[in-house]
A = this chain, B = another copy of it.
């Protein structure tokens, strides 16, 4: 190999894409992404075969980060309520700390450009933490509703809570976080 690819450039392209997609949607042009990343447009295509490829890799990059956060944050000790509450706090903190990534995820999910394979890989990333959540929730929630309450509602409700927080003064943030968790915990009780 005469000259290696630069991980630095790859990440600069992904970061630039995230920034532009968050504000302009997936219609952000490869020209604008390359320019923002400080590389020529041709370079973008040596790191990513197609624009769709870039989009899918960006999707997985963000999902990997979120999955790792959930995994790393999961407490080994404490009652079920405390464990879910801790996870809830970490989810909210992740969203509040990564507003760009959250916008990107929303854009990519409705874009129709994320492949089935990417979604499959994403699911795999969350499998481990999902199982821990299920263990913690066992007994608290009707087993027949477990899948709905974990796979659909948990992250969806966290998302809505972060949105509401973003649209409110800081003073209310803790209050909204509590309101979101109470809704989830009391609502899922058997």
A contacts, CB < 8 Å to B: 23-25, 27, 106-107, 110-112, 142, 144-145, 148-149, 152-153, 156-157, 160, 163-164, 175-176, 179-180, 182-189
Contact = CB atoms under 8 A, between A and B. Distances in A.
B164 A176 contact: no
Contact of A145 (B110, B148, B152, B179): B179
Contact of A149 (B25, B179, B184): B179
Total identical chains: 2
A186 B141 CA distance: 13
Contact of A183 (B23, B24, B110, B153): B153
Give the interface centre of A107, A142, A183 by most chain B CB atoms within 10 Å: A183
Contacts of A164: 148, 152
A185 B188 CA distance: 10
Give the interface centre of A25, A27, A187 by most chain B CB atoms within 10 Å: A187
Contact of A25 (B111, B145, B156): B111
Dominant secondary structure of chain A at its interface with chain B: helix
15 contacts: A25-B110, A25-B111, A25-B112, A106-B110, A110-B110, A148-B164, A148-B180, A152-B160, A153-B160, A156-B156, A156-B160, A157-B157, A183-B188, A187-B187, A187-B188
B163 A157 contact: no
B187 A183 contact: yes
A163 B147 CA distance: 13
Given A187-B187, A187-B188, 6 more contacts: A144-B175, A148-B176, A156-B156, A156-B160, A157-B157, A186-B189
Contacts of A153: 157, 160, 183
